[in-house]
Chains A and B, each alone.
Chain A
Amino acid sequence: MNALAAEGEVVYEATTNGLWFVEHAWVVVVLPLISAALILFFGRRTPGKGAVYGIVAVGAAFLFSLGVLWHFVEGGGPFEGSIDWFTIGPLHLELGILVDGLTGIMLVVVTSISLCVHVYSLGYMHGDERFTWFYVVLSLFTAAMLTVVVSNNVIQLLVGWEIMGVCSYLLIGHWWEVKENSNAAIKAFITTRVGDIPFMFGIIMLIALTGFTSTNIGEISHELGLGEVSPLFISMAAILLFGGTVGKSAQFPLHVWLPDAMAGPTPVSALIHAATMVAAGVYLIGRLFEIFLEAEQWVLTTVSIVAAITALGAALLAIVQDDIKRVLAYSTLSQLAYMVAGLSLGELGLTAGFFHLFTHAFFKALLFLGAGSVIHAVHSNNMSDMGGLRKSMPVTFWTMLIGSLALAGIFPLAGFWSKDELLVVAEEEHVYWLFVVFLITAVITAFYTMRMVLLTFFGEYKGHAHPHESPATMTGPLVALAAATIGVGLLGSPQLGAVFGQWVFYEEVHEAVFVPWIALLSTAGALLGLFAGYALYKERKAQDPLQAPMGPLWNVFQNRYYIDAFYMRAIVLPVRDTWSSSVNWFNQVVLDGIVNGAATVTRAFAQVIAWFDRTVIDGIVNGAGEGAGKTGNVLKHLQTGNVQWYAVALFVGVIALAVVFIELV
């Protein structure tokens, strides 16, 4: 792998203290991969069942990522390095790293949250029967996500992307003994697969753009920039790639898997289904942004519409959930849609969208880990079994309060800055309908956040377990993430120079602007949502106060707009009951018939060949052997053992030769 650094080239001339880290960024990917292997092979024999490998490796990767980010803090430029992988005809594949500001940020996000989750799981998964396996998959997932983040070509990206999918499947179904969990895992896997198929075709189209010579993202973008490719072709590729985002980042209409994925252990929900994997879809758009910008306008419009539907629709569903993890899951859907919508706004939106991804990763991981801490204490996911926990779980309460306020977008926490930035960009790009959607979603977000906090931590305890504060391995990551939630927002604050925009940008740095009326409007919206939530949920009632006024709409919301039921009836059941039996018949009768027929013909033919082999070929071979033996039997009598006869033959020979020579000469 050292060749990687040797062959690398610095795209822009720069010498910074972080340059060495950037040139060796592949180490960040390899560390968790090694730890996954170590845990798998030695985990059970190691004290602590192997978690220590994962924590040390991811911790080291986190420090290394900070080194990488430092390069960009100092104003360094992007770096690309690669080694040859293999070549198929003209198509040249490489293993490589492409490190720019976006990569630096993503590396820090993934490794820091992965580290928190690794530590947190020590407490949360304590005593689990598949504890070691859990850590194997956790480390493998981290490596896969980092592969996606650093990869400089679409094939490597696809490989990391699919490994993430497998890890997600394994972790959702971690407690597979319960049928619902394994169903959720299958649902997640198959639903994302529906998006991955167009994604794969999109990738093939991108490779086709280069005349099947390269998979490098930079070269593909360069090819696009030449302007020789028809816009329709680019648009098709872009919309197919967006399919991958829709699946992985759980956008409408493939959002159905994410709420069910909450069946997995809560640390997994925090890492994979809130902070990192689901953000990979957003990252994908950012990484291949050139393609989306070169495509026709309808592509980005489609992206906006899908994101807007998801943002609003998911936020509304979060209001009526009783399961605290599902509230957060719908919230995640809605916030991911914020990011996607942000990216659809163009170059300015890229910075804003990724800033939201950055801040959201921290506060949503914090909320999930906090929820996990609560669930750990009360042994139930349902908020109807909680209440009044602020006294028994003070650390969890305060950290979750910080996360909740950040989610609601209250100054000066992380969510305020990033949501504000998105609103500003929507206003600047004159996409007012999206501005309105953002604002309404923000109000609803504040509302359901307040509801969640009140139902969980205030009022009277309704459950039957005896809640207690979680161990330090769980509260430690909560405190660390809470500190991050307070801090990271300031990186994008226009008053403090908005340094985030100098790291993550498209083509050129844009000055972040602070628009006072938008900030006031969003704060007012958030406060409106919070107060509405407080007014409705300050007193706990047996029935949800929204149920009566919403009437039949309540049932629609409870059944998730009947989308899941529709998929079940229209796709899953017909496929399972009707199509599968006909496909089975086709397989049993037609395909097996062809296969068996081919086998029968081959057998008959083989028997002919066998006869030919036994009779003709063997006959020739044996005949040659026997012939040689018989000839030898006859000729051997020439060797009498009598030396004088030999001498006679010798002299006769000499005379004969002499006669021949004399006659010839």
Chain B
Amino acid sequence: MIRLPLVLMFSALLFSAGVYGVLARRNAVMVLMAIELMLNAVNVNLVAFAASLQQMTGQVFALFVIAVAAAEVGIGLAIVILLFRTRESINVDEVNLLKW
């Protein structure tokens, strides 16, 4: 059995990769994918703690997160398509009309 701290280290790396993607990527699709990374890092955490504490709650919660993430990606991709149709670009730093 893999030890818990190792798993936590892995999920922390995964999450950091996601944060980097969200903050640094210009492509909206990439940003969405980075969000998926962060969500999955959380899922890994939930499952790891569930296994280590011998409780099912974490695993159930992970299932909920996967379901919500699927819905979120659906809406996110729809927004990206609309964005592309109106502006011919999906660069997030070009979408900055809502400002002072």
* Contact surface of A with B, Cβ cutoff 8 Å: 636-637, 639-644, 647-648, 651
Q: Report whether A640 and B22 are in contact in the complex, using a CB–CB cutoff of 8 Å.
A: no
Q: Report whether B92 and A644 are in contact in the complex, using a CB–CB cutoff of 8 Å.
A: yes
Residue numbers in B under 8 Å from A639 (CB-CB): 99-100
Residue from A636, A639, A640, A643 with most neighbouring chain B CB atoms (10 Å): A643
Q: Which 10 residue pairs spanning A and B have beta carbons closest together?
A: A641-B99, A641-B96, A636-B100, A642-B96, A639-B100, A639-B99, A641-B98, A640-B99, A644-B23, A642-B93
Give 20 CB contacts A-B under 8 Å. Answer: A637-B100, A639-B99, A639-B100, A640-B96, A640-B99, A641-B95, A641-B96, A641-B99, A642-B92, A642-B93, A642-B96, A642-B99, A643-B95, A644-B22, A644-B23, A644-B24, A644-B92, A644-B93, A648-B23, A651-B19
B67 close to chain A: CB less than 8 A: no
Residue from A636, A637, A639, A644 with most neighbouring chain B CB atoms (10 Å): A644
Q: Report whether B23 and A647 are in contact in the complex, using a CB–CB cutoff of 8 Å.
A: yes
* Docked CA distance A217–B88 (Å): 100
B97 close to chain A: CB less than 8 A: yes
Within the complex, what minimum Cβ distance (angstroms) separates B9 from chain A?
17
Chain B interface size, as a band, is 10 to 19
Within the complex, what minimum Cβ distance (angstroms) separates A642 from chain B?
5
* Docked CA distance A639–B100 (Å): 6
Residue from B93, B98, B100 with most neighbouring chain A CB atoms (10 Å): B100
Besides A637-B100, A640-B99, A644-B93, 18 other A-B contacts (C-beta < 8 A): A636-B100, A639-B99, A640-B96, A641-B95, A641-B96, A641-B97, A641-B99, A642-B93, A642-B96, A642-B99, A643-B95, A644-B22, A644-B23, A644-B24, A644-B92, A648-B23, A651-B19, A651-B23
Specify the chain B residue showing the minimal Cβ separation from A648.
B23
Q: Is the interface of A mostly helix, strand, loop or mixed?
A: helix
* Docked CA distance A542–B98 (Å): 118
Residue numbers in B under 8 Å from A642 (CB-CB): 92-93, 96, 99
Within the complex, what minimum Cβ distance (angstroms) separates A343 from chain B?
96
* Docked CA distance A643–B97 (Å): 11
Within the complex, what minimum Cβ distance (angstroms) separates A163 from chain B?
75
Within the complex, what minimum Cβ distance (angstroms) separates A655 from chain B?
10
Within the complex, what minimum Cβ distance (angstroms) separates A201 from chain B?
80
Enumerate B57-100 residues with CB–CB distance to A below 8 Å.
92-93, 95-100
Residue numbers in B under 8 Å from A640 (CB-CB): 96, 99
Residue numbers in B under 8 Å from A641 (CB-CB): 95-99
Residue numbers in A under 8 Å from B23 (CB-CB): 644, 647-648, 651
Residue numbers in A under 8 Å from B19 (CB-CB): 651
* Docked CA distance A425–B74 (Å): 119
Specify the chain A residue showing the minimal Cβ separation from B100.
A636
Within the complex, what minimum Cβ distance (angstroms) separates A196 from chain B?
80
Specify the chain A residue showing the minimal Cβ separation from B93.
A642
Known: A637-B100, A640-B99, A641-B99. A647 touches B93 (CB 8 A): no
Q: Report whether A647 and B22 are in contact in the complex, using a CB–CB cutoff of 8 Å.
A: yes
* Docked CA distance A641–B95 (Å): 7
Q: Report whether B92 and A643 are in contact in the complex, using a CB–CB cutoff of 8 Å.
A: yes
Specify the chain A residue showing the minimal Cβ separation from B28.
A643
* Docked CA distance A643–B91 (Å): 11
Within the complex, what minimum Cβ distance (angstroms) separates A639 from chain B?
5
* Docked CA distance A66–B95 (Å): 98
Residue numbers in A under 8 Å from B98 (CB-CB): 641
Specify the chain A residue showing the minimal Cβ separation from B96.
A641
Residue numbers in A under 8 Å from B31 (CB-CB): 644
Specify the chain B residue showing the minimal Cβ separation from A637.
B100
Within the complex, what minimum Cβ distance (angstroms) separates B13 from chain A?
16
Within the complex, what minimum Cβ distance (angstroms) separates A647 from chain B?
6
Residue numbers in A under 8 Å from B22 (CB-CB): 644, 647
* Docked CA distance A225–B98 (Å): 92
Specify the chain A residue showing the minimal Cβ separation from B98.
A641
Residue numbers in A under 8 Å from B96 (CB-CB): 640-642
Within the complex, what minimum Cβ distance (angstroms) separates A338 from chain B?
101
* Docked CA distance A640–B98 (Å): 8
Within the complex, what minimum Cβ distance (angstroms) separates A627 from chain B?
18
Residue numbers in B under 8 Å from A651 (CB-CB): 19, 23
* Docked CA distance A530–B92 (Å): 129
Enumerate B20-55 residues with CB–CB distance to A below 8 Å.
22-24, 31
Residue from A636, A639, A641, A651 with most neighbouring chain B CB atoms (10 Å): A641
* Docked CA distance A651–B22 (Å): 11
Residue numbers in A under 8 Å from B24 (CB-CB): 644
* Docked CA distance A115–B94 (Å): 99
Residue numbers in B under 8 Å from A644 (CB-CB): 22-24, 31, 92-93
* Docked CA distance A359–B98 (Å): 101
Within the complex, what minimum Cβ distance (angstroms) separates A651 from chain B?
6
* Docked CA distance A637–B96 (Å): 13
Within the complex, what minimum Cβ distance (angstroms) separates B66 from chain A?
23
* Docked CA distance A648–B22 (Å): 9
* Docked CA distance A396–B73 (Å): 117
* Docked CA distance A640–B19 (Å): 20
Residue numbers in A under 8 Å from B92 (CB-CB): 642-644
* Docked CA distance A639–B97 (Å): 10
Residue numbers in A under 8 Å from B99 (CB-CB): 639-642
Within the complex, what minimum Cβ distance (angstroms) separates A429 from chain B?
107
Residue numbers in B under 8 Å from A643 (CB-CB): 92, 95
Residue numbers in A under 8 Å from B100 (CB-CB): 636-637, 639
Specify the chain B residue showing the minimal Cβ separation from A633.
B100
* Docked CA distance A636–B98 (Å): 12
Within the complex, what minimum Cβ distance (angstroms) separates B62 from chain A?
22
Within the complex, what minimum Cβ distance (angstroms) separates A648 from chain B?
6
Within the complex, what minimum Cβ distance (angstroms) separates B27 from chain A?
12
* Docked CA distance A640–B31 (Å): 19
* Docked CA distance A647–B24 (Å): 10
Within the complex, what minimum Cβ distance (angstroms) separates B35 from chain A?
10
* Docked CA distance A110–B39 (Å): 102
* Docked CA distance A90–B92 (Å): 81
Specify the chain B residue showing the minimal Cβ separation from A642.
B96
* Docked CA distance A640–B96 (Å): 7
Specify the chain A residue showing the minimal Cβ separation from B24.
A644
Within the complex, what minimum Cβ distance (angstroms) separates A658 from chain B?
13
Residue numbers in B under 8 Å from A648 (CB-CB): 23
Residue numbers in B under 8 Å from A637 (CB-CB): 100
